[in-house]
Amino acid sequence: MKELLDTIEAWQRAGVRFGRAVVIRTFGSSPRPEGAVLLYASDGRLAGSVSGGCVEGVAAEEIERAMMSGRSRVVRYGITDEQAWGVGLACGGSIDVLIEPDVPPEVVDAARSSRGVAVVTELRADEPHLPCLVVHDDGRLEGTTANAATDDAIVAAAHEALLRGNSRAIELGTRRFFVEAYPVRPRLVIVGAVEIARSLVRLAHELGFEAIVIDGRPTFATAERFPAADQLIVGWPDEVADAIRLGPYDAVAVLAHDPKFDEPAIVEALRRGCRYVGAIGSRKTQAERRERLRAAGVPDEDLARLHGPIGLDIGGRSPAETALAIMAEVIAERYGASAAPLTR
């Protein structure tokens, strides 16, 4: 939806009525993920995509019917092997698509927000206006299902969707909901302006991350060495944590290889529940570090979340290869992946 905001604003200014189709569930090898959106205007214009091209026409017809009836519905589309080849896939699949006669204002507001927001839509058959709840990244819930346990489960599911950056359908008892996630831009906080960090900033940007580099040594943390960093901060990591609002949506890579920088950064990142915390160092260094952290009062359940040695084992040794291994582990952690070879 974010990429369609300009279109939405233009159509609204022109007074054009439009509805939408949004993928709420995928089965098999589907061309577009959950959350993919197609807009259809009353003058016949299209924007966005729900399938890569193979069901857009019939989805537009469904939107037109919904605009006439004023009712929403869920439609399942099968994508044949032949159609899948046409959009660059090796095999087909199926998608469930929510057809709506308009775009809910809660969704537009969430897509515009600079903070993490999830819009939760209850899926009911042929409803004129599907009820929406809004969950903010601080856990605030706008609206209610009239059931406290269901509300709590929705907040938990929305929090998970914002962390993963994935929209998804959920079932709570006999009720079905679609959690449409609009997360903040993922952020990688790099502690230690070392050579690996330079490659890491470039890779983070390629993968859509904001990159912050922190180092207490002004001769290391320079704009000349890190021209692409979104923020370059000279200071102690634990002291600047509040200023950068370090929190659960951040990944932290600790690379300074100096206990006086590394260990306060690790403690603060674990304490704040950062989604990923990794630290460079050999297995011997890691073991010694963990003993010091344990002696300093860091609980074992927090230490269990510390990735060290940092990164996936890809066999590389150069700074760029190490950066690649780190980003691979950050991505795997974000999506809850096993990081095992796909052949297994």
What is the model's pLDDT at position 82?
55
178: Cβ contacts below 8 Å, ≥ 6 apart: 22, 24, 98, 120, 121, 123, 167, 168, 169, 170
| 131/175 Cα distance (integer angstroms) | 13
What is the model's pLDDT at position 84?
52
Same domain, 222 and 120: no
Low-confidence ranges of the chain (pLDDT < 50): 85, 87-90
Angular region, 285: left φ>0, alpha ψ -120 to 50, beta rest: alpha
Residue 274 lies in a domain: yes
Residue 26 lies in a domain: yes
What is the model's pLDDT at position 339?
73
| Domain-terminating residue out of 154, 182, 210 | 182
Q: How do residues 113-145 score in pLDDT, each as one tens digit?
A: 989 999 999 998 766 667 899 999 999 999 999
Same domain, 157 and 212: no
Residue 67 lies in a domain: yes
Number of domains in the chain: 2
| Domain-terminating residue out of 182, 214, 244 | 182
Same domain, 113 and 23: yes
Same domain, 157 and 269: no
Task: Write out the residue range of the structural domain in which residue 212 sits.
Answer: 187-335
What is the model's pLDDT at position 237?
83
| Domain-terminating residue out of 129, 158, 182 | 182
What is the model's pLDDT at position 114?
87
Q: How do residues 36-75 score in pLDDT, each as one tens digit?
A: 999 999 999 999 998 877 788 899 999 999 999 999 999 9
Same domain, 172 and 191: no
Tokens of 218: 């002004």
Residue 10 lies in a domain: no
What is the model's pLDDT at position 31?
72
pTM over 0.85: no
Residue 344 lies in a domain: no
Same domain, 257 and 156: no
- Helical residues (DSSP H) of 14-141, grouped into ranges: 56-69, 81-86, 105-112
- Helical residues (DSSP H) of 113-236, grouped into ranges: 148-164, 195-206
Same domain, 37 and 158: yes
Same domain, 211 and 92: no
Same domain, 109 and 256: no
Same domain, 170 and 203: no
Residue 7 lies in a domain: no
Same domain, 67 and 137: yes
Give yes or no for a contact between 211 and 190, defined as CB atoms under 8 angstroms apart: yes
